Amino acid sequence: MKLNRTLGVLSAAALALSLAACGGDPTDTSSGSDSGSTSSSKSIVVGSAAFGESEILAEVYAQALKAKGVDASTKLDIGAREAYIGAIKDGTIDLIPEYTGNLLLYFDQNATATAPADVESALQGALPDGLAVLDPAPGEDKDSLNVTSEFAQKNGVASIADLAKIKGLKVAANPEFKTRAYGLPGMDKIYGIKDVSFTAISDGGGPATLKALTSGQVDVADIYSTTPSITQNKLVTLEDPKNLIAAQNVVPLIRDDAQSDEVKSTLAAVSEKLTTDALLELNTAFAADSKPTAADVAKDWLQKNGLV
């Protein structure tokens, strides 16, 4: 993407050169001396949205960068996408964890890509000047169709496609699932699943949806793919070989003027380890009774994976 440097940044950079002999950098907002300089002279502020997973990932990014000598800090709980996109555009933050499919739809409401590679390609073309995405992680946080392990074994179900053979299939999800392309219409159009009764539960795949599934009230439930209840209840997340549900790979969204080789290589190493199972692990740890902070959870995961 094109660089989106403002005149203020250019002026500050020129001033920094004129004062270099004095050993000071007027563009450095950190306190104290910089003992861990790298090829990136810019300090990086990592933002997050207003939910736990985003806060954990922001801490993962920031702590990994710090371990490589990058001057990184966090600004958590900014708010919804409209708020933090504004913050990264105006330079309040430099970097934020995002999700490919939702970010694509934010910048292009008419986008139809669903497969991971197609979504990534379309996203690259939809981003405004001054912003870029780095290597996406294999892990996704998105709508997912889940069944109990007992139902899966009894009916030989491992994929959404297998549901077509179930008569009188009972599905629970948010109300919009009834009309959205990734919901009942797509199940019919893409997988030929026609004999369905629908129960609308407005809790985003939360406790009420889980109870409906585990009690046998419904056969299938839409639960976000990194929700700890999936592993805690040994649910089976059905495979989606035809990409009914659009890809939502975790991806670093970054300002062009915050990029450096060190930043890119560090975040690439992090993204490589961020599988969906890893996201589940992080969220499960965050939900522990001991109530760890996002920073604590991030630190433990980074150490476990040899990233700090």
SS (H, E, C) 63-87: HHHHHCCCCEEEECCCCCHHHHHHH
The class of domain 40-140+247-304 in CATH terms is alpha beta
pLDDT tops 60 at residue 6: no
Distance between CA atoms of 255 and 247, rounded to whole angstroms? Answer: 23
Looking at residue 5, its pLDDT comes to 32
| Delimiting residues of CATH 3.40.190.120 domain(s) in the chain | 143-237
Distance between CA atoms of 116 and 136, rounded to whole angstroms? Answer: 10
224 DSSP β-pair partners: 143
The secondary structure of 121-132 as a DSSP string is HHHHHHSPTTEE
Tell me the pLDDT tens digit for each residue of 239-271. Answer: 999 999 999 999 999 999 999 999 999 999 999
Q: What angle (nearest 5°) sits at the alpha carbon of residue 36, between those of residues 35 and 40?
A: 130
Q: Which two tokens stand for residue 243?
A: 């990409």
Choices 3.40.50.10860, 3.30.9.10, 3.20.20.70, 3.40.190.120: CATH for 143-237: 3.40.190.120
Backbone angles phi, psi at 228, to 5 degrees: -55, -30
Tell me the pLDDT tens digit for each residue of 207-246. Answer: 999 999 999 999 999 999 999 999 999 999 999 999 999 9
Q: Does the pTM of the predicted model rise above 0.95?
A: no
Q: Which two tokens stand for residue 67?
A: 């371990």
| Delimiting residues of CATH 3.40.190.10 domain(s) in the chain | 40-140+247-304
Q: pLDDT grade, residue 41 (50/70/90)? A: low
Q: Which positions ≥6 away from 167 have C-beta within 8 Å? A: 195
Distance between CA atoms of 64 and 59, rounded to whole angstroms? Answer: 8
Closest CA to 223 of 276, 289, 274: 276
CB 113 within 8 A of CB 102: no
pLDDT tops 70 at residue 26: no
